[in-house]
């Protein structure tokens, strides 16, 4: 693991400054006076105790946060590098969770670069299990956000918000006084959390609920190709797509730091009483809360074990559950916006990661040996005019150039210029019939599924006819103003800028218009969907 020194300093500086200031104050002026807790029970309208809805949402939140963190780490380890720049040039990462330096003398694909993660930490663990990890991540996020929304609504429709939301700027000096105590290892007397929190505690909870959680929610979609390539202002909020990704990771780190601190403080400041507060809602020191709390922890561990087991043993089921629950929501949120972001020539990435295995079949090799002069793109299926088109014919049919941002499911991105025939033009030429709803792109190349070891079955993917008609859906024959090279898909590859990279079939051999994709391959919509259990929606 390697973290860039400047970033490390940037992240550590605030903490060091705060600690130095706290120690300085203690050494020079002594411990500051602590705020006097307000008196309880003389007819004030302050909330006391934790109602059932709050205890339940607190627990559900914890459950899904753990699933989110574990699946998130698994997704990260599929491209274990974090950058501040959108190009993901090897060597520019600020955090590298792999010992590997990208070799320059041989092909090193982004998939080669994915790392093993222990199933105790990652959900589901192992290497390149990003398909399953994403299903758990997206399933969890729906429930986490749903639960959070209920919490939010109830918080403000009762007086419980008064616990969290500071009502006077006095909270800042008060929290500082508490911090100076903690930082110099002088545990201050803790107020009874049944009635109110100490100032620092209140600020921390406020920060987690009203800053960290929204940051997690809003930095997530900044990684979506559909969103970023339609609403260019969105990734600019954090800066760019990779800053959004880095921020999403840092927010996760902040959650972990909070969790550790929170649990430690709850344990130090009267564990049995605190457990009764948040588990059973009473304010005494019997062991009920502790016992039920242990059962609750057991359930969380069981759910996590079940989540791993389901991903390893029943990946297809998991994929289909996600399809039933996640896809409708995603479709509603992300299916309509057509991509339109364009970049400038200066923005083109110096290096674009590659994925996929160069075709090894005779057909492609002999075409390649003759600069693809004999190449004929076969277009068939439910069309009025099936066609076989040479590269020259494709060129004369139409040429559109677009400089766009590529998003791989693994997390890396890069900008390149692509020129090719818009799919819309081809569709006009071949005229699909009224029953055609999807387009299949077959590659000359074989797919590689790391944990299944499937090599030998051909790579393919599908698009809805509707998406094929978008103006940024191209059959590209040029990249960065040169004929497409072998690595990036010669002679012809797909570009579809509102989707993740795995949809963009390289080394295209033929195209087929079909009524539905279930009869193709294993019926999931593509090689990666069939063998790596990727979700059929690739818009985030």
- Give residues with Cβ within 8 angstroms of 273, minimum separation 6: 192, 194, 283, 284, 285
From the CB of 428, what's the least distance to ligand MTE, in Å?
A: 25
Give the CA distances from residue 498 to residues 87, 224, 231, 331, in Å, rounded to whole numbers and listed in that order.
18, 8, 11, 13
Which of 225, 414, 501, 525 binds Mo ion (CB under 5 A)? It is: 501
Which of 64, 255, 507, 513 binds ligand MTE (CB under 6 A)? It is: 507
Provide the token pair at 197.
């929190």
Segment interacting with ligand MTE, rule: CB under 6 A, options 6-14, 224-232, 290-298, 347-355: 347-355
Which of 77, 352, 421, 440 binds ligand MTE (CB under 6 A)? It is: 352
Give the CA distances from residue 349 to residues 406, 412, 440, 464, 485, in Å, rounded to whole numbers and listed in that order.
10, 12, 29, 29, 16
- Give residues with Cβ within 8 angstroms of 368, minimum separation 6: 486, 490
- Kindly write out the interface string for residues 448-467 of this chain, putting x where it contacts ligand MTE by CB under 6 A and - elsewhere: -----------x--------
From the CB of 480, what's the least distance to ligand MTE, in Å?
A: 11
Which of 280, 504, 511, 540 binds ligand MTE (CB under 6 A)? It is: 504
The site partner of 135 among ligand MTE, Mo ion, none (C-beta below 5 to 8 Å per kind) is none
Segment interacting with Mo ion, rule: CB under 5 A, options 291-299, 327-335, 400-408, 470-478: 400-408
Provide the token pair at 505.
């079939």
Measured from the CB atom, the residue of 138 and 507 that comes closer to ligand MTE is 507
Give the CA distances from residue 123 to residues 72, 310, 487, in Å, rounded to whole numbers and listed in that order.
8, 10, 32
Measured from the CB atom, the residue of 269 and 504 that comes closer to ligand MTE is 504
**Residues 519, 349: Cα–Cα separation, whole Å:** 38
The site partner of 227 among ligand MTE, Mo ion, none (C-beta below 5 to 8 Å per kind) is none
Which of 502, 507, 513, 533 binds Mo ion (CB under 5 A)? It is: 502
- CA geometry: angle 76, 80, 86, nearest 5 deg: 90
| Rounded-to-10 torsion of CA 278, 260, 123, 54 | 20
**Residues 137, 258: Cα–Cα separation, whole Å:** 20
The residues with which 441 forms a beta bridge, in sequence order, are: 461, 511
- Kindly write out the interface string for residues 156-195 of this chain, putting x where it contacts Mo ion by CB under 5 A and - elsewhere: ----------------------------------------
The residues in 339-358 that bind Mo ion, with binding defined as CB under 5 A, are 355
Measured from the CB atom, the residue of 355 and 443 that comes closer to Mo ion is 355
From the CB of 228, what's the least distance to ligand MTE, in Å?
A: 15
Segment interacting with ligand MTE, rule: CB under 6 A, options 134-142, 331-339, 353-361, 397-405: 353-361
**Residues 311, 222: Cα–Cα separation, whole Å:** 26
The site partner of 372 among Mo ion, ligand MTE, none (C-beta below 5 to 8 Å per kind) is none
Measured from the CB atom, the residue of 177 and 409 that comes closer to Mo ion is 409
Asked if residue 19 lies in contact with residue 183, where contact means CB atoms within 8 angstroms, the answer is yes
The residues in 377-396 that bind ligand MTE, with binding defined as CB under 6 A, are none
**Residues 392, 370: Cα–Cα separation, whole Å:** 14
- Given its phi and psi angles, is residue 203 left (phi above 0), alpha (psi -120 to 50 degrees) or beta? alpha
The residues in 399-428 that bind ligand MTE, with binding defined as CB under 6 A, are 408
- CA geometry: angle 216, 17, 269, nearest 5 deg: 65
The residues in 29-88 that bind ligand MTE, with binding defined as CB under 6 A, are none
Total of chain residues touching ligand MTE, rule CB under 6 A: 18
**Residues 519, 366: Cα–Cα separation, whole Å:** 30
139 makes contact with Mo ion (CB under 5 A): no
Which of 408, 423, 505, 537 binds Mo ion (CB under 5 A)? It is: 408
Measured from the CB atom, the residue of 252 and 505 that comes closer to ligand MTE is 505
From the CB of 511, what's the least distance to ligand MTE, in Å?
A: 13
Asked if residue 477 lies in contact with residue 389, where contact means CB atoms within 8 angstroms, the answer is no
Measured from the CB atom, the residue of 64 and 418 that comes closer to ligand MTE is 418
Type and span of the H or E element at 268: helix 241-268
Rg (CA), the chain: 27
From the CB of 359, what's the least distance to ligand MTE, in Å?
A: 8
411 makes contact with Mo ion (CB under 5 A): no
Type and span of the H or E element at 317: helix 315-334
The site partner of 126 among ligand MTE, Mo ion, none (C-beta below 5 to 8 Å per kind) is none
Measured from the CB atom, the residue of 151 and 507 that comes closer to ligand MTE is 507
Give the CA distances from residue 50 to residues 184, 195, 281, 308, 499, in Å, rounded to whole numbers and listed in that order.
31, 9, 6, 33, 45
Which of 122, 220, 315, 356 binds ligand MTE (CB under 6 A)? It is: 356
Residues that bind Mo ion (CB under 5 A): 355, 408-409, 501-502
Q: Which residues bind ligand MTE (CB under 6 A)?
A: 352-356, 408, 443, 445, 447, 459, 488-489, 501-502, 504-507
């Amino acid at each position: 693991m390697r973290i860039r020194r400047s970033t490390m300093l940037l992240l550590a500086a605030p903490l060091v400054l705060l600690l130095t200031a706290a120690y300085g104050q203690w050494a020079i002026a002594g411990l500051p006076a602590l705020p006097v807790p307000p008196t309880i029970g003389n007819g004030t309208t302050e909330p006391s105790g934790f109602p059932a809805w709050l205890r339940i949402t607190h627990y559900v939140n914890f459950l899904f946060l753990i699933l989110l963190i574990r699946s998130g780490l698994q997704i990260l380890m599929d491209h274990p590098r974090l950058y501040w720049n959108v190009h993901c040039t090897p060597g520019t990462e600020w955090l590298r969770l792999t010992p590997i330096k990208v070799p320059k003398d041989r092909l090193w694909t982004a998939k080669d670069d994915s790392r093993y993660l222990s199933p105790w930490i990652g959900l589901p663990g192992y290497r390149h299990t990003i398909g399953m990890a994403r299903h758990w991540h997206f399933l969890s996020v729906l429930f986490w956000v749903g639960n959070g929304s209920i919490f939010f609504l109830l918080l403000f429709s009762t007086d419980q918000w008064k616990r969290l939301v500071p009502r006077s700027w006095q909270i800042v000096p008060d929290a500082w006084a508490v911090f100076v105590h903690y930082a110099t290892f002088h545990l201050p007397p803790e107020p009874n959390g049944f009635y109110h929190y100490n100032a620092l505690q209140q600020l921390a909870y406020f920060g987690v609920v009203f800053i960290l959680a929204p940051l997690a929610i809003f930095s997530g979609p900044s990684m979506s190709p559909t969103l970023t390539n339609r609403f260019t202002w969105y990734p600019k909020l954090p800066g760019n797509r990779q800053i959004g990704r880095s921020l999403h990771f840092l927010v996760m780190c902040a959650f972990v730091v909070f969790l550790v601190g929170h649990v430690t403080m709850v344990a130090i400041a009267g564990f049995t009483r605190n457990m009764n507060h948040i588990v059973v809602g009473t304010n005494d020191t019997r062991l009920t809360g502790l016992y039920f709390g242990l059962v609750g922890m057991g359930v969380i561990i069981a759910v996590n074990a079940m989540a791993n087991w389901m991903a390893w043993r029943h990946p297809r089921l998991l994929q289909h559950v996600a399809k039933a629950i996640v896809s409708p929501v995603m479709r509603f949120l992300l299916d309509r916006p057509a991509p339109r972001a364009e970049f400038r020539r200066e923005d083109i990435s110096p290096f674009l990661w590659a994925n996929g295995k160069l075709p090894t079949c005779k057909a492609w090799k002999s075409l390649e040996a003759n600069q693809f002069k004999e190449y004929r793109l076969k277009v068939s299926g439910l069309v009025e005019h099936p066609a076989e088109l040479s590269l020259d014919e494709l060129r004369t049919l139409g040429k559109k150039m677009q400089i766009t941002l590529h998003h791989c499911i693994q997390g890396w991105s890069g900008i390149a210029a692509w020129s090719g025939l818009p799919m819309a033009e081809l569709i006009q030429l071949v005229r699909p019939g009224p029953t055609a709803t999807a387009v299949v792109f077959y590659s000359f190349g074989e797919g590689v599924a790391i944990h299944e070891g499937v090599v030998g079955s051909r790579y393919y993917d599908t698009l809805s006819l509707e998406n094929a008609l978008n103006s940024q859906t191209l059959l590209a024959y040029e990249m960065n103003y040169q004929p497409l090279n072998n690595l990036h898909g010669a002679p012809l590859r797909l570009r579809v800028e509102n989707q993740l990279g795995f949809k963009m079939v390289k080394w295209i051999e033929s195209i087929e218009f079909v009524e539905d994709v279930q009869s193709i391959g294993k019926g999931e919509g593509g090689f990666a969907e069939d063998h790596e259990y990727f979700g059929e929606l690739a818009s985030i």
